[in-house]
Structure 1
Amino acid sequence: MPGSPRPSFDPSLLAPRHWPAWLGAGVIWLIARLPYPLLLALGRALGMLIRHVPSRRRHVARANIALCFPELDTRAQAALVAAHLTDIGLMLVEFALGWMGPDRAIARIPVQLEGLEHLEAARARGQGVLLVGGHFSHLELCARLISRRIPIAGMYRRMDSPVFEWAVLRARLHYAAAMFEKDDIRGTVKYLRGGGTLWYAPDQDMRSKDSVFVPFFGIPAATITATHHLARMGNAQVIPFFHRRLPQGGYAMRLGEPLEMDGDAVANTARVNAGIEQMVRAAPEQYLWVHKRFKTRPPGEPDPYARGR
């Protein structure tokens, strides 16, 4: 099997220093077994609590939304910040469901899926596919939902906790065709060249030497060029993966038309950002605004997250 192998259990994980992590994993397991409507209700309740707890991340979300939606007045921006903080509660329970929800519960979640013809056309040509998405609150759950229709792999960063690394990697390998560590470029390219489909989200500021400044909501944003390089080396199509939570519950997912990718890494990275921006505008409260997306600035530009903004 390509990618990371299914992890075996190490008895050292039972040491007392890991007990808090086991308790946390147990809580996640229990939450994932709640009926879907009750789980969403719990998420909204957690979100209401998060809205009223002071946090530095509130300042980050406020700064990001002010930058990206200058056309909104102060009241509308504040309302979007509040809606996003509420959505963080839903994100917590959706991660629990995506990681550890039973298959029968996942099968009952309402899903709308469009655009499979774009993926099928790439496969008919013998090409791999990069499903490019963004960091939305339901990204893990939607990856599992779409894996019920198409075999997909993912890229991940190892977790700091050995307990969660063991538990979450096992959970992901239950539904994913493969999981590649973020530095396993050789394995990822081989998988794409073999016609595989890889879910990938390149929309965070990684402070990488392989980043370029390209627009995101009209603002120069440091963005990794990995999508360009993986598509080129893996002979893969880049297909935008849209997903959003519907007001009544359930998820609308859509595979967009393949992005036109040429030999210009900067232009291709800009196209990817434009596609993710389109996704965000469709469901702005569900995007991860608490991440410092603009922490790396071009020379001479101020820190948008400095206090006093």
Structure 2
Amino acid sequence: MEHFGHLLVVALLRALSILPYPLVARLGSALGAALYALPSRRKHIVLVNLYLCFPEKSERECDELAREHFRHVVRSYLERGVQWFGSARRIRKLVQIESAIDLEDRNAPPTIFMGFHFVGIEIGCLHYSLKMPAASLYTHMSNTRLCDLARRQRGRFGAEMIERSTGARRIVRLLHEGKSVMLAADMDHGIENSVFVPFFGVPACTLTSVSRLATIGHARVVPFVTEVLPDFKGYKLNVFAPLSDFPSGSDTNDARSMNAFLETQILKFPAQYYWVHRRFKHRPEGMPAVY
């Protein structure tokens, strides 16, 4: 049954990849709205996150934002068909780029491209790998077949896929070779190698890996965010200037800077951030669990 289920997922994604993008996006949005109407653990997580991060919003406003978020999240799952199986030409056509740096500079210094878990992160990484060779970190999934599929399709344009928990030495080696590494560090992966710093005023367990890797690899840190454009017009990859004074020599200060930057981007399109993740899974000693 597991094998049959995997084949069904692949077949569905391949079928979605040949449909017009606006149709796939509309289907995903409608399905997301329908699923939001049902009680679920993920819906609970989203609402808790929104209540914590936006205490000034009313219950109704949080509910509307959560519903819009479900539309975006489910839509992003269906759009994996285009992202994983669409042609390079089609992906280039779907993504606009606005960059503060030259993305094709062969003499660029070692660079850590720091992404964040917005719903469009997948296609942003894919599009960059079409322009320049890069390495990209991924988190191992419990479903081995799906994990293998994701790793293969995410790396199909030449990106070297590195498993997060085992890849530190490989990342440092690549940076010393002057190559680029793409990673995201805005999830709660446990208190090891993390610090508690504010995220919308709430203590959040935040990884210090970006700071440490940048220090060891003598790399600049360049944030990027992929935005889903309105009216089903595709995506916009925003690449920002390198963060100043980063790394600063303090893991805590760097984690604060990272979260502060992320907050400014979330406020631009709050429904597109991955609120379905348990961002506050771990809490400082003495603080109650929230989920």
How high is the TM-score relative to the length of structure 1? 0.87
Spell out, residue by residue over 1:124-143, the C-alpha distance to the aligned partner (whole angstroms, 9 max, x if none): 4x521111121111211121
Q: Tell me, what secondary structure is at the counterpart of 1:282?
A: coil
Query: In the alignment, residue 168 of structure 2 is paired with which amino acid?
Result: I
Spell out, residue by residue over 1:249-288, the C-alpha distance to the aligned partner (whole angstroms, 9 max, x if none): 2222221121121111111111111112222111110111
Question: Do residues 209 (structure 1) and 195 (structure 2) align?
Answer: no
Partners of 1:133 and 1:276 within 8 A in 2: no
Query: In the alignment, residue 113 of structure 1 is paired with which amino acid?
Result: E
Question: Do residues 141 (structure 1) and 130 (structure 2) align?
Answer: no
> How far, CA to CA, are the matches of 1:195 and 1:283 in structure 2?
33
> How far, CA to CA, are the matches of 2:17 and 2:181 in structure 1?
25
> How far, CA to CA, are the matches of 2:158 and 2:198 in structure 1?
32
> How far, CA to CA, are the matches of 1:95 and 1:280 in structure 2?
22
State the match for 2:224 in structure 1: 241
Could you tell me which of 25, 36, 40 is aligned with 1:55? 40
Query: In the alignment, residue 270 of structure 1 is paired with which amino acid?
Result: R
4+ aligned runs moved over 4 Å, structure 1: none
> Map of 1:61-100 to 2, 5 A cutoff?
61-100=46-85
Over the aligned positions, Cα root-mean-square deviation in angstroms equals 1.9
Query: In the alignment, residue 247 of structure 1 is paired with which amino acid?
Result: P
Report the CA distance between 1:53 and its aligned residue.
2.0
**Structure 2 segments unaligned to the other structure (5+ residues):** none
Report the CA distance between 1:22 and its aligned residue.
1.7
Identity of aligned residues (%): 34
State the match for 1:263 in structure 2: 249
Q: Tell me, what secondary structure is at the counterpart of 1:116?
A: coil
> Map of 1:109-124 to 2, 5 A cutoff?
109-117=94-102, 124=107
> How far, CA to CA, are the matches of 1:230 and 1:110 in structure 2?
29
Report the CA distance between 1:166 and its aligned residue.
3.1
Question: Do residues 41 (structure 1) and 23 (structure 2) align?
Answer: no
Q: Tell me, what secondary structure is at the counterpart of 1:32?
A: helix
Question: Do residues 162 (structure 1) and 148 (structure 2) align?
Answer: no
Q: Tell me, what secondary structure is at the counterpart of 1:304?
A: coil
Could you tell me which of 210, 217, 220 is aligned with 1:227? 210
Spell out, residue by residue over 1:1-58, the C-alpha distance to the aligned partner (whole angstroms, 9 max, x if none): xxxxxxxxxxxxxxx6522212212212211221111111121122122222221111
> How far, CA to CA, are the matches of 1:112 and 1:155 in structure 2?
22
Question: Do residues 128 (structure 1) and 110 (structure 2) align?
Answer: yes
How high is the TM-score relative to the length of structure 2? 0.92
> How far, CA to CA, are the matches of 2:104 and 2:18 in structure 1?
34
Q: Tell me, what secondary structure is at the counterpart of 1:289?
A: coil
Report the CA distance between 1:73 and its aligned residue.
2.2
**Structure 1 segments unaligned to the other structure (5+ residues):** 1-15
